[in-house]
Amino acid sequence: MSLAFNRHQHQRALSKARKIVREWFRFTRPSQEEIEKRARHIVNNRKLCSCQMCRNPRTAKTYKKFERLTMQEKKEFTDKDYE
């Protein structure tokens, strides 16, 4: 990816973080520096996604044994059952 595209993505993330910070402090009036400081902190310290689609099924404790298998292993497992 190009440097310009990375800069663009960073600016988009920073813009979204500013909106989040403004929503947090909607009843108070923080200074512009405070908003910028917190927004940069959010962008630089984003948490990894923990949704079920992004989570590694092998390490997730909420999945059962069959659900922890990869798609290839599931296909192989079901093919053997039908033969």
pTM, 2 dp:
0.55
Give dist(CA 37, CA 31) in Å, integer: 10
Residue type, 42: I
What is the DSSP secondary-structure string of 13-59?
HHHHHHHHHHHHTSSS---HHHHHHHHHHHHHTPPPP-STTTS-TTT
pLDDT at 75: 82
pLDDT at 79: 64
The residues spanned by each domain of the chain are 1-46, 54-83
3-state helix, strand, coil in the chain (%, to 5): 60, 0, 40
Q: How confident is the model at residue 58 (pLDDT cuts 50, 70, 90)?
A: low
- Asked if residue 34 has pLDDT above 70, the reply is yes
* Alpha-carbon torsion (44, 45, 47, 48), positive or negative: positive
